[in-house]
Amino acid sequence: MKLSLKEWNQKLRDSSIEEISGLLKLLASDERQGAKKLFKTYTSRLLEAEAELRRLEIMCSFEKQCAANGKKLIAGVDEVGRGPLAGPVVAAAVILPEGYILEGINDSKKLSEKKREDLYKRIVEDAVCYSIHLVQPDKIDEINIYQASKLAMSEAVCKLKVEPDQLLIDAMEIALPIDQLKIIKGDEKSISIAAASIIAKVTRDRYMKKLDQMYPHYGFKTNMGYGTKEHLEALRTFGATEIHRKTFSPVGEIIKFTGSE
């Protein structure tokens, strides 16, 4: 019996990627204009889904390599917030279940706020364990941002409830006696590091929005502490606060000029 276009649409909508591929072969011979439109739409979706699956498989390659070497508890580690003039640097460490795949996961910088929030919820629900550590501006000023980033990462790993036997870290190594793999642009190449980047980014953004309520003049809820025009104008008008990084330019120069410290 020939399916109606509505039935075809519903059948395709309810099918897996593998099933859609077979259904499209049947639909290809349907000469109805609506059928041709459905064929084109779902062929495009199938190609997108297959491309996403290939991307995710590549993102799992470091984890598979470590697992093949006998590693069972692989932690991805990343940090966010090196560049802002205010607020903490935040690091996260995440151990995902073996073979874990999450559609849409990527470097947190490449995702919308809504997508990050959605993925954050899934990651914290599905992870074997995860942890977060914040290093505040006074410590950043004391030891510099590079060392503060390493400190945040180390503390995040140490706070994990389950001790990892392998670390995958975005472009950095830390002083812990655990096997480590430094991966340049790791947040787009490793699913574990991408998960950590999302946890760290969402955590920091939420934190900065709370700081915005305490310091409403600086626009933290939108600029997240970065040196936007609005933020710099507020610094010149109202001076620096205790959550500004005094060693960062131009905060230091503004403090000297306004005497706001």
Environment class of residue 186 by beta-carbon count within 10 Å: exposed (0-12), middle (13-18) or buried (19+)? buried
- Using CA atoms, how far apart are residues 251 and 261, in angstroms rounded to an integer? 10
Q: Is 30 annotated as a binding residue?
A: no
Question: How is residue 72 annotated by DSSP?
Answer: -
SS3 category, 159? coil
Q: Is 212 annotated as a binding residue?
A: no
Q: If you search the block for the tokens 């459905």, which residue do you land on?
A: 38
Q: φ, ψ for residue 255 (rounded to 5)?
A: -60, -45
* Residue among 194, 146, 204 nearest 170 (CA): 194
- As to burial, measured by CB atoms within 10 angstroms (0-12 exposed, 13-18 middle, 19+ buried), residue 1 is exposed
Which residues neighbour 231 within 8 Å (Cβ) at sequence distance 6 or greater? Answer: 85, 86, 218, 219, 223, 225
Burial class (CB in 10 A: 0-12, 13-18, 19+), 90: buried
Q: Residue 207's closest CA among 193, 218, 226, 220?
A: 220
Backbone angles phi, psi at 110, to 5 degrees: -95, 5
Tokens of 23: 């259904």
Q: Does 170 count as an annotated binding residue?
A: yes
Residues marked as binding for a divalent metal cation?
78-79, 170
Residues marked as binding?
78-79, 170
